[in-house]
Structure 1
Amino acid sequence: MIGIISFPPPSLQQRFAMMAKGRVAAIISVTFITSIASLGLYTYISTILDNLKDTPSLAPYLWAWGIGGVIGSFSVGYFIDRTARPKMLMAGILTIMAFAMFCIPFALPFPILSFLPFVLWGAMGWASQAPQQHELLRLQPNHGAAVVALNSSANYLGSAVGSALGGIVLLAGLTPSSLPFAAGCLVLAALLVQWLIISSNRKRGNAKNMSDLMQ
C-alpha cells in the first residue's frame, strides 16, 4: 500500500509568513484588484443599464454574464493544460476583461452586440481564479489548502470592497455610465502587476540559467 504524505495545517504565524512572501503577495494582490473591478462592477449592473439603456428587463444581461461564467470556468483548465503558462494566461484573461468592460457603454445601443461584453466579462471573471490557484500551489505545495483559501479570501474581500467603492464614487457624483471605465482601469492596474510578476520570473529564470552555466 502506498502511503500518502500529509502536512499539518500551517500555524497562524506561518500563514502570515506566506502572505508576506513577495511572489505570493503579488499573486494575491492581482486576485484582490481583479475582484474589486469584476465583482464590484457586477453589483451595479442594474444601475448601469438603467443609465445607459432603457431596457425592460435585466435578466438577459445576467444570463449573458452567467453563461459566459460557465464557459470560462469549464474551459480555463483546458487552456492551463495546453499552454502550461498560467501567468501568461492570466495576463490574457485580464486583457480581455478590461476590453469587455470598456466596450459595455459602446455595445449597449446594438441589440445583438450588447450581450457580448457581458459574456466576455463573465467568462474572464470566472476563469481568473484557476491560473492564480495553479501558481499559488506551485509556490506553496506543502500548504496548498491554506494558500488557496487565502486567494479565495482575497477574492471575496475584493467583492465587498468593490461594492463599497462603487457606492462611494456614485455618492461622490460619478455617473453610473462611468463605472465600466473605472472598473476597466482597475483591471489594467491588475494587468500591470501581472506583467511585473512575469517580468520578475523571467529575470529570476535568466539569473538561474547564468548561474548554472558558470558552475
Structure 2
Amino acid sequence: MPLALLALALGAFGIGTTEFVIVGLLPEVAGDLSVSIPAAGMLVTGYALGVVVGAPLMTAAGNRLPRKTMLVVLMGVFIAGNLLCALAGDYGALMGGRLIASLTHGAFFGIGSVVAADLVAPDRKAGAIALMFTGLTLANVLGVPLGTFLGQQFGWRSTFWAVTAFGVVGLLGIIALVPAQPRPPGASLRGELAVFARPQVWLALLTTMLGFGAVFASFTYLAPMMTELAGFSDGAVAWLLVLFGAGLCVGNVLGGKAADRSLMPSLYVILGALAVVLVVFTFTARAPLPAAVTLAVFGAVGFATVPPLQARVMQQAEGAPALASAANIAAFNLGNALGAWLGGLAVDRGLGWTAPTWIGAGLAAAGLCTALLSGRADRRRAAGKRAAPLDSVLPAPRQGATTPPSPRS
C-alpha cells in the first residue's frame, strides 16, 4: 500500500468528520447561538449545497495546477473554514465557515480519487479509491461519535478546533507523502468539460445519485425507526450507528475488491443486493436482534456501492477524469438530499417509519436499471467495433479493373 494513500485517507477522515459531526451537536449549537434547532439544522443543508456547487467550481478553478498542489490548496481552505467555525461568535459566522469548508469536499474526493488510482496498477484502481474512502467511513465510525462527545463535554467549538488540528495533520501528510503528479499532457478545462458530452458519463452520474439516494432515504430516519419500531432505547442509537459504521468499513473494502475484478457485474450485484436488503429491512425493523443484524448488512452493502460508482465515472471520463470525478461527489450529495427528502415526504404523509426504507429499495432498483442501460450501451459499442463493415475490411477495387467472372461462367 503506498503511504500516499494513507495521507489521502487522513484528509478524507477530517472532511468526513466535519460534514457529519454537526448533526450530533445541533442542540448545543442552537442553545449557544440562540437559534432554533431547525435553523441549526440548516448548517447541514448549507454544507451539502456547498459540496454540490463547490465540487465542479473548485476543480475547474484548479485545472491549471498540478494535482498535488491542488490537494494542498484544498486542505488549506478546509483548515481555514473549520478555524472560522471554531472562532465563530454568531450563527452567520458559523454558516460562513461551514460553507468555506464544504467548497473543498467534492474537489478533494474527486481529485484525490484520480491521484489514488494513478498510484497503483490498473487492476487495483478501485481498491485504491476504496482505501482513500476508508477515511470517510472511519469518520462515521470514530470521528463523528468522538467529535460529538468532545463537543458535548467541552463545548461545540472544541470539536471544530479538533477538526482543524486534524486538517493540519492531513495537510502535512499530503505534502510529505503524495508524489508530485504533473498535469497530463494536453489537459485543459475544455477537455475536462468535453467529457460531459458523453451520454455514458451522465448515466454514471445518474446511477450514483439513485444508488446512494437509496442509502440515505433509509439512513436519515434510522433513529426513529430503531426506537419506535425495533424497541431500542434512545441511548442505544449511538451504538447502532457504530454498528452501521463498521458495516460501512467492510463494504467499502469489499466493494473496491469486487470492482477491481469486474466493475459492471459487481455494480449490478451490489445495487440489486441493496434493493433486496432494504426490502428485508422493512420487515426485520420490528424486532431488536433482526434489526441490528440487518442494519450492519445494510451498512456494508450500502457503502460497497461507493468504489464501483466512483470508478465507473472515472472509466467513462477517461482522458479527463478530474472534473467528472468531482461531479460524481456532487451526485452522491444530491442523492443524499433526494433520498432524505423523499423519505421525509413519505413520513409526513403518515406512511410510517418503514416507508423511507421502501423508497430506498425503489431508488436502488432504479439505479440498477440505469446501470444495466449503461452496461448494455457498452456491449453494443464493443459489438459495433468487432463487426466492422465489410467494405472497410476488403481492399477497394483499382480503377479500370473488371469484375472477375463467376465460377459458373
- Shorter-chain TM-score tier: 0.7 to 0.9
**Matching residue's letter, 2:328:** N
- Higher Cα Rg, which structure: 2
Contact conserved, 2:270 with 2:304, CA < 8 A, in 1?
Answer: yes
Partner of 1:172: 349
Does the residue aligned with 1:58 lie in a helix, a strand or coil?
helix
* Structure 1 residue 58 corresponds to structure 2 residue 232: no
Q: Identify the match of residue 100 of structure 1 among 272, 277, 302.
A: 277
Q: Distance in 2 between matches of 1:161 and 1:9?
A: 32
Q: 1:25 to 1:91 in 2, by over 3 A?
A: same
Q: Distance in 1 between matches of 2:184 and 2:317?
A: 14
Q: Identify the match of residue 161 of structure 1 among 338, 341, 351.
A: 338
Does the residue aligned with 1:141 lie in a helix, a strand or coil?
coil
**Matching residue's letter, 1:80:** A
Partner of 2:189: 10
Contact conserved, 1:96 with 1:120, CA < 8 A, in 2?
Answer: no
TM-score (norm 1): 0.86
In the TM superposition, residue 66 of structure 1 has moved relative to its aligned partner by 0.7
Provide, for residues 123-153 of structure 1, a one-character-per-residue CA deviation record: whole Å limited to 9, x for no partner. Answer: 1222212112222222223322211101000
Q: 1:53 to 1:115 in 2, by over 3 A?
A: closer
Q: Identify the match of residue 248 of structure 2 among 56, 69, 73.
A: 69
Q: Distance in 1 between matches of 2:335 and 2:277?
A: 19
Unaligned runs of 5+ in 2: 1-180, 394-409
In the TM superposition, residue 110 of structure 1 has moved relative to its aligned partner by 5.0
Unaligned runs of 5+ in 1: none
Q: 1:27 to 1:205 in 2, by over 3 A?
A: same
User: Larger relative CO (CA 8 A, sep 6+): 1 or 2?
Assistant: 1
Partner of 1:91: 268
Q: Give me the CA root mean square deviation.
A: 2.4
* Structure 1 residue 202 corresponds to structure 2 residue 379: yes
In the TM superposition, residue 111 of structure 1 has moved relative to its aligned partner by 4.7
Count of equivalent residues: 209
Q: Distance in 2 between matches of 1:119 and 1:164?
A: 23
Q: 1:45 to 1:9 in 2, by over 3 A?
A: farther
Q: Distance in 2 between matches of 1:198 and 1:141?
A: 16
**Matching residue's letter, 1:124:** V
Does the residue aligned with 2:269 lie in a helix, a strand or coil?
helix
Q: Distance in 1 between matches of 2:371 and 2:324?
A: 18
Does the residue aligned with 2:320 lie in a helix, a strand or coil?
helix
**Matching residue's letter, 1:27:** A
TM-score (norm 2): 0.47
Stretch of structure 1 that moved more, 94-103 or 104-113:
104-113
